[in-house]
Amino acid sequence: MALGVVVLVFFMMVLVGGGVVLFALRGTGAGGGSFAPGTRAFEAHLTLGPLGAAIDEARRELAASASRPEKRGRLERELRFLEDQKVELEAIVARGDTSPGKGYVGFTRLPAGD
């Protein structure tokens, strides 16, 4: 019996400046590594790339804000918040967590006012 290609659609939810941005990700499941779709490991694996890009951007903003101490504190907290999520997601991937995921791929930003 021939197997057809299954196209999966995932939504990445990212909290940006108090709003939510959804991204549709399409693929054959290969993007989630060797993890089954719908598991925490699968979702974590797909989230690590965009999260890494957000961390890089936060580092660039922090470097550019050297002369603005009022902005630096918020950026430092944001960077720690994102890096903590990355550590957690890497641990989920490392242990191959097969428990059910959240149903979407994404990460959150530091809430406004923090």
Alpha-carbon dihedral 35, 38, 39, 44, rounded to 10 degrees: 80
Domain boundaries, the chain: 10-107
Cβ distance 64 to 78 under 8 Å? no
Region of 76 (left: φ > 0; alpha: ψ -120 to 50; beta: rest) is: alpha
Neighbours of 71 (CB within 10 A): 14
Residues 6+ apart with CB under 8 A from 69: none
For 37-86, the pLDDT digits (tens) are: 999 999 999 999 999 999 999 999 999 987 788 789 999 999 999 999 99
The model carries a pTM of: 0.69
